[in-house]
Amino acid sequence: MVPEDIRDFFAASAGVAGALIGLLFVAISVSVERLKREEAGAQVHRIRAVAALIAFTNAIAVSLFALIPGEKIGITSVVVGATGLLFVVASLLSLIRLRQVRWARVRDALFLIGLIVVFVLQIAEGLGVIADPANSGDVNTIAILVVCCFLIGIARAWELIGGPSIGIAHEVTALVRSHGRDGVPADGVPADGVPADGVPADGQPPAPAG
């Protein structure tokens, strides 16, 4: 049984999930040519698209069934969680089949592992609700997992459309490389504005000392 004080959350969650699914369909339609390719990179994009759809569908299914009178949120959580696990297993097998070890593949694998954690917890909490419908703690946990599905789906959709990614590790590495071994930035011009050949960028020779 869904407590009355959390029904408003599920009502709002259903509306948000519906809007995000609509936006995801638009993003997929824009990227349809890239998704149809047979190369390894296209397969990764397909996994991202389906992962976002699975996450949003999970959220909307749980939210809508939670609003129906009766004890339906438990069985719904178990069914959508199990369905999500099947997708994750298929996606991990697909990444293994690509046989390409790249950082992008590692990030996709980490996202899939995150989905595994969410779906396993969702199944466990759903079984808890089925066993004890009066336990509101399990329902609250399912609500938190719905939020997690939103966050994962948004992240997957952002990468699907090629949104910019600024990470601390990437920025620190780029900063270190830009200075080089001798303290010379990547453009070859030191901080004093005079490159190694002694001719400034404006083409004028440096003024004589004194």
Pick the closest to residue 121 from 147, 96, 95, 156 (CA basis): 147
Instruction: Judge if pTM exceeds 0.85.
Output: no
Burial class (CB in 10 A: 0-12, 13-18, 19+), 33: exposed
Instruction: Write down the domain spans for the chain.
Output: 4-165, 166-204
Res 101: pLDDT: 47
CA distances from 210 to 43, 72, 94, 128, 203 (A): 66, 87, 69, 85, 21
Distance between start and end Cα atoms, the chain = 88
- Looking up tokens 């490159």 gives 195
Give the mean model confidence (pLDDT) for residues 41-64: 86
Q: How far is CA 74 from the centre of its chain?
A: 26
Res 121: pLDDT: 94
Pick the closest to residue 108 from 179, 48, 25, 193 (CA basis): 48
DSSP 8-state symbol, 71: S
Retrieve residue 174's tokens: 């780029």
pLDDT at 31 over 80: no
Res 63: pLDDT: 93
DSSP E strands in the chain: the ranges are none
Res 198: pLDDT: 55
Instruction: Give the count of beta carbons closer than 10 Å to the beta carbon of residue 65.
Output: 20
- Torsion sign across C-alpha atoms 96, 98, 103, 108: negative
Residue-wise pLDDT for 98-126, tens only, equals 665 455 567 777 888 888 999 999 999 99
Retrieve residue 126's tokens: 């759903």
Residue-wise pLDDT for 68-87, tens only, equals 888 789 999 999 999 999 98
Retrieve residue 24's tokens: 């995801």
Res 135: pLDDT: 80
Pick the closest to residue 138 from 77, 57, 54, 60 (CA basis): 77
- Looking up tokens 């190694």 gives 196
Residue-wise pLDDT for 131-176, tens only, equals 988 888 889 999 999 999 999 888 888 877 776 666 565 566 667 7
Give the mean model confidence (pLDDT) for residues 178-189: 55
Q: How far apart are CA 144 and CA 125, in angstroms?
A: 11
More confident residue, 125 or 90: 125
Q: How far apart are CA 37 and CA 31, in angstroms?
A: 11
